[in-house]
Structure formats: structure tokens, C-alpha cells
Amino acid sequence: MKKTLFISFLLILILPACIPSGEPKQESKSIQYPFQDPSLPIKERAKDLVSRLTLEEKVQQMMYNAPAIERLGIPAYPWWSECLHGVARAGKATVFPQAIGMAASFDPDLISRIASAIGDEGRAFFHAADKRGNRLQYGGLTFWTPNINIFRDPRWGRGQETYGEDPWLTGTLGSAFVKGLQGDNPHYLKAAACAKHFAVHSGPEALRHGFNAVVSMQDMNETYLPAFKKLVEAGVEGVMCAYNRTNDEPCCGNTFLLQEKLRKEWKFNGYITSDCWALVDFYEGHKVVKNAVEAAALALKRGVNLNCGSVYYPSLVDAVKQGLVKEQEVDSALVQLFLTRFRLGLFDPASKVPYAKTPESIIHNQEHKALAREAARKSIVLLKNKNNVLPLKKDTRYVYVVGPNATNAEVLLGNYYGVSDNLNTILAGIAAKVPPGCFIQYKQGCLLDRENINPIDWTTAEAKQADATIAVMGLSGNLEGEEGESIASATKGDRLDIGLPANQVNFLKKLREGNTKPIIVIVTGGGPVAMPEVEELADAILFVWYPGEEGGNAVGDILYGDAFPSGRLPVTFPRSVDQLPPFEDYSMNGRTYRFMEKEPLYPFGFGLSYTTFSFSDIRLSSNQLQKGKNLQVKVSVTNSGKREAEEVVQLYVKPPKASFRVPFASLRGVKRVLLAPGEKQDVEFTLTPEDLSVVDEKGNLVQIEGTYEIVVGESSPSPRSEALGAATPVMGKIHIM
């Protein structure tokens, strides 16, 4: 009895200290082990920590849900977190436009500001959750973002997660995201970014667990790897290897990718994680090993530090016992993981870590909401504006809103999204602009992807009475995305038919029949939509992607002229799937604006404005250039219209012909300039030797002799761009000796 009372008394003393109070934890001033000493180099600290673990503890720390080691005061840590366009799958957060929408801004500064805001929210949430003893999955500071795979084929449902089809743009925007997310402190990371999925990974989703992407060294180094190299140079902390095989080796066991390129050639010094449950594909999908033990051993030897999965890296205990790997190899891989945790300040007193002071009030604050609205505005692409029907006048007498996505909050999100209490649907954004006394009516009119069951149609007749009809059509994340995410997709998230659902096109035809008043079509989606019929039926077309929580307000701003459209297409929109090579073919021949010979519906880089721009007076620093020298380019841009607007000035390099395939043109510079009506401004670019180089058939970057064309305009250089209304570009020539 006395013993029981004594234990009860101890519990009374101890329990209050164990219950999360919401107050900051007191910092311990005692240092028992070298790894707890912030004055020591972090590599020394990481090695000390690892030396104190048993083999079983070591391999558990190499899992995405690393458990606590209480005897050393090491807390549990959830490695797997997401923030593709806002902190995802955790607490309330600001939801920015989907990645492909952010890419349509062609604005690295905007991407950096968004990523910085995401990092702030991630930090604040992490510490708030930690106070409550909450270390659930998706609550860490190691974010598995950005996805910098090349959107080589419009059928890939996950293309929405990328920055488009161009390696230069992808690398530029991805680097801006990494720097914004990770912060600029010389000692600590705000959060840790992760470049994924390394490498040569872009569908088909249904085959990814056993698919072998066969790619030439030219395509490898010209298209699939440059963005990853740029992010390594930008200091990205992590890299995630992909599910598929590349040239016969699983990406998470690939000697060329992980060892020769990433570690040796590029000197990457961060951590490598597998994609989630990718190691089971080693023996179930790719069949390159017999079991989990061999899979774990292969991944470790190729350089994978962290296993996202449930049962595979614990098999390293048996792999060591069987002599497949050495315990020293486990130690080396684990030290790399702890280096990341030390860089995040997770073993240091909060007083030493500046990001640990991030206030909870920063989460979803007014500044971040305004940033989400700015991003959504800059992502929206005006594809058509017949007779300048847009912007609508504020006092338009009667607006009729129809379509399956007008009230659909799902289309604001895309995939890998966060949760917000501020989801502004497109209908709400339009309604917010309509003044008292002006009419607005809404009926859905048609379903998302199938014909109406009820044959009674009130909508198309009523629409004829309105002064303008706004049809909100397109796709949703239920139709396209990752294999398990797209619950309405029969093809595991891919779009084998890249057009609008046929019932939506049929509905638009009914709206148009006998109706001479403007029909404005707003299209949601995560990638290219082949819609030549919509181009014919609509008076104006806005492509709005998955525009985030402020998407509805941004659409309203654009429709009514409170903001100007300035988004540009980061992907080519084909006329039909017939213009595409086979989905499983990873050769770049015939793909993207750089190699596509057929005329697309909408070219890469295209987007209209509410004003017009003109380009003139291109000046090159030289008309003959020695190899290895920089080239300065200056061009004059004029707002030749009647509205203030921002122009997205794009510079493309067209190389001379060679004995091997070269791109028709390659984007090498982007500048945004805000111009008042009649205003003229000079825009300058610097082209490096790398910008003026091409990749030969062996995969080598070479600067060939001959005449290069430097083209500056507002879209990729093609007759189709000008036919759709893009300004005539200007061109200069440089001969490289």
C-alpha cells in the first residue's frame, strides 16, 4: 500500500510536466554528449550521435517516420512533409495556385516570395504542433517539394505538379522556390526542400512501378537532368529518386543517376530519399532483386539515405548479418540524414535558431492571402479575346454564369493541397464584382464529365437573355493527378484523351446555338487541353489552372478589369492527341516547342493581354563572339495600347544547324516589365556560354560554330503565336567562332 501511494505521489509530480501546455518548452542548459553541443561542427555532432546508436536504432532512424530514442533525448521526427503550393496535408495553411499555375507567371521573384511564405508557415506550424506533442506525418520541416520533372507529354496527370515542359524555366523557377523555402541564414535552414523525382519520370502513372524509361544521353542531358543540376547548384537539401527504371536500372538503385551524376559530378551533399514504397518495386515491379533484404542493400549501396516505406530499411539489420552491406555504410548514410536535422536546428536551443521564433500568427495571414491572390492573377492566361469583349464593364446589365466548375471548390486545389477556410470559388469571385442593380444568375447546366441524365434543359435558353454568359468548364483533380488521388479517373490519373469532356463541348454548342452575345469560357485544369472547338465557340477564353484559395477573386479581378491578364503557357497546347508521339516513348523527338514540328493550338509562352506591346531596336554587344564569352542583349519594349499592363518579355536562342539534332529554339531569359500606355522601356539580358550551347548526341554540352539567332518577344517564336495575336518578335544574329 505504501509503495502504491509513493508511486501515485510521483505521478502527481511528473504528469503536469508531460501534458502539453501550449507554452514554449524550457531549454536544457546541460550538455551530456558532444552531439548536443552547438559550438561543435555539425558533422562532428552527427557522427557522435550515430556512434551512440545500436544497429537496430540506426536503421529505424533511416525511415520516414523516425521514432524517438528516449535514452539520448532524441525526439521522433516525421520526414515526409509536403508543400507543393502551400503547406499540405497538415494544419490550416495558405493555398497558392498549383505549381503549373505558378509556372505560368514566368516570375522567379514571385515563386521565391511564395516559397518563403510557405517556409514561414511550415516553421510556425511545426513549432506549434511540437508544443502539443504532435509529431504526426506531414508535420516536419523536410518538405518533398518541388517536382521538377519535365512535363513532356500532356497526358501525364501529375504534370500539374511541375513547372512545365522547358528545362530552363523549370530550373529557374525551381531554384527560386528552393532558395525561398530554405531561407538565407548561413547556419540554419528555414525548411528543407527536395527535388523530385530523380529522374526521367513523367508517366504513364499506371506503369510507374515497373516501367523502364529508355532515354538517350542527348535527351538525358538536354532535357531531363538540367533542372536537377540547377537545383543542386542552388543548394537543395534533398533529392527524391523515382519509382521507375531509367535505362534498365531502378532510379532508387541507379548507378549513373545517384552516384555518377548526383554525388560525383554535381557534388551533391544533401540527403537522398526513395519515393514512397519504391523499394518494394525492386522485387515486385522491376524484379532486379529477390526480396526486401536485397532491395534495402541495393538502395543503400547506390546512395539512398532515407526509405519512405514501411518495412524495407529495417531489413538492413539482416543485410549486415548476411554480409550484403557493412555497418559502416549504414553509419555513413545516417550521418547525412542527421546533418539535415542539425541544419534545421532541431538539436539546438531555440534561442540559437532564428526560425524557431516564427510566430503562429504568420499562418494564413492577410499578407499571404494577398500573395495568393497576386499569384492567381499572374497565373491566368488569356487565350482569346475576340473584339475585346474582356474586360467586362462593371455595369454589365445581366451576367449568366454556368458550368460544372463555377461552384466547385475542388478545382481551386489541384493535388498535394493544404486546407483553408478561405476557398473563394469562381462564382463567388464573379459575384463579388457585380454591383447592386445588375443581374447575375447561376445554373450549373451540365455535369463535369458525363451527359445530364435529366433531358430538361432550362439553362441554354435562359443564357440567351443575358448580356454575357460565363461558362466555367474544364477538369478537376478527381479526373487527373496521381494514381491514387484521381478517384474519377479510369486511367490512374492520366488523360489519354486530352480534350475537354465531350459533354462539356456539347453543352457549349447548345449555348452558342442562336446566341450572338458574348460567351466567355473559363477553363480549369492542370495541363494542356486540346480544345479547338472551344476556340471556335467562345468569344473569350481564360485558362486558370487550379488557382488556389484566392482563385475565384483573381478570376473576378481579371474579368472585370481590376487586374490585367499576364500569364503565359509553360506548356504547349496541341490540337489533339494525334499530334503526340506514343506516351511510353521518352525520346524528345516531336515533343514540346523545342522539337515539335506540327502546329499546336496554343504555343509555349503564349498569352494575350488587355493592351498591346511592341518590340524594337534589338542590340547585341557583338555580332561575332569567341567561344566561352558572354553576350549582352538589349531590346526596347513599348506598351502600344491603352491600358497599363505587365509584359512578359521572353528571349529565345535558335542555334545553327549541326550534324546532330538541335532544338528549334530554347528559352534563355524572362523579364517582367510594368508599362503605362505609351511607355517604352529597355530590357537587358546576359547570355552565358552555356545559354549559347547545345547538347550533342553523346550528351556533351558543346558550343558549335555558326550563326545563332536571338529572338525576343512575348511567346515562343512561331507563325502560330503571331496568328493568335502575339506581338511580332525582334531578332538579332550572333556568329560564334
In DSSP notation, 207-253 reads GTTT-EE---HHHIIIIISHHHHHHHHTT-SEEEE-SSEETTEEGGG
Q: How far apart are CA 531 and CA 502, in angstroms?
A: 10
Section 112-119 average pLDDT: 98
Q: How far apart are CA 358 and CA 721, in angstroms?
A: 46
Sequence ranges of the domains in the chain: 2-362, 380-571, 613-736
The three-class DSSP label of residue 213 is: strand
Catalytic annotation on 275?
A: yes
Residue 637 half-sphere exposure toward CB, CA atoms < 13 A? 27
Contact between residue 337 and residue 306 where contact means Cβ atoms under 8 Å apart = yes
Contact between residue 204 and residue 489 where contact means Cβ atoms under 8 Å apart = no
DSSP E strand boundaries for 242-357: 245-246, 249-250, 271-274
Catalytic annotation on 697?
A: no
DSSP string, 42-90: HHHHHHHHHHTS-HHHHHHTTBTEEPPBGGGTBPPEE--BB-BTBSBSS
C-alpha cell at 326: 557493412
Q: Which candidate in 82, 165, 480, 482 is catalytic? A: 480
Q: Which candidate in 275, 294, 557, 646 is catalytic? A: 275
Q: How far apart are CA 630 and CA 692, in angstroms?
A: 9
Contact between residue 251 and residue 241 where contact means Cβ atoms under 8 Å apart = yes
Q: Which residues pair with 441 in a beta bridge?
A: 400
Say if residue 183's pLDDT is above 80. yes
pLDDT of residue 312: 73
Residue with cell string 510521483: 10
C-alpha cell at 82: 509536403
**Architecture field, domain 613-736:** Sandwich (2.60)
pTM over 0.85: yes
Dihedral (Cα; 499, 500, 506, 508), 10-degree rounding: -120
Q: Which amino acid, 339?
A: L
Handedness of CA 453, 455, 458, 463 (dihedral sign): positive
Q: How far apart are CA 271 and CA 46, in angstroms?
A: 13
Residue 369 half-sphere exposure toward CB, CA atoms < 13 A? 13
The three-class DSSP label of residue 695 is: strand
The three-class DSSP label of residue 258 is: helix
pLDDT tens sequence across 209-224: 999 999 999 999 999 9
Taking alpha carbons only, the member of 540, 533, 537 closest to residue 385 is 540
pLDDT tens sequence across 260-274: 999 999 999 999 999
Q: What fold does the segment set 380-571 form as a domain?
A: Rossmann fold (3.40.50)
Say if residue 54's pLDDT is above 80. yes
Q: How far apart are CA 415 and CA 569, in angstroms?
A: 20
Q: Which residues pair with 65 in a beta bridge?
A: 78
Spell out the residues 6+ positions from residue 595 whose beta carbon is closer than 8 angstroms to its own.
588, 589, 661, 663, 664
pLDDT tens sequence across 607-622: 999 999 999 999 999 9
Q: How far apart are CA 575 and CA 401, in angstroms?
A: 27
Give Cα separations from 230 to 234, 334, 642, 735 (angstroms). Answer: 6, 25, 40, 27
Q: How far apart are CA 186 and CA 651, in angstroms?
A: 34
Q: How far apart are CA 633 and CA 407, in angstroms?
A: 47
The pLDDT confidence band at residue 49, using thresholds 50, 70 and 90, is very high
Largest CA distance in the chain: 97
Burial class (CB in 10 A: 0-12, 13-18, 19+), 616: exposed
Run of H or E including 711 = strand 706-713
Q: Which residues pair with 147 in a beta bridge?
A: 196
Percent of the chain with pLDDT over 70: 96
Say if residue 678's pLDDT is above 60. yes
User: What CATH number should be reported for the domain whose range is 2-362?
Assistant: 3.20.20.300
Q: How far apart are CA 82 and CA 120, in angstroms?
A: 14
pLDDT of residue 343: 98
The pLDDT confidence band at residue 17, using thresholds 50, 70 and 90, is very low
C-alpha cell at 177: 522556390
Say if residue 1's pLDDT is above 60. no
Q: Are strands 540-545 and 381-385 parallel, antiparallel or unpaired?
A: antiparallel
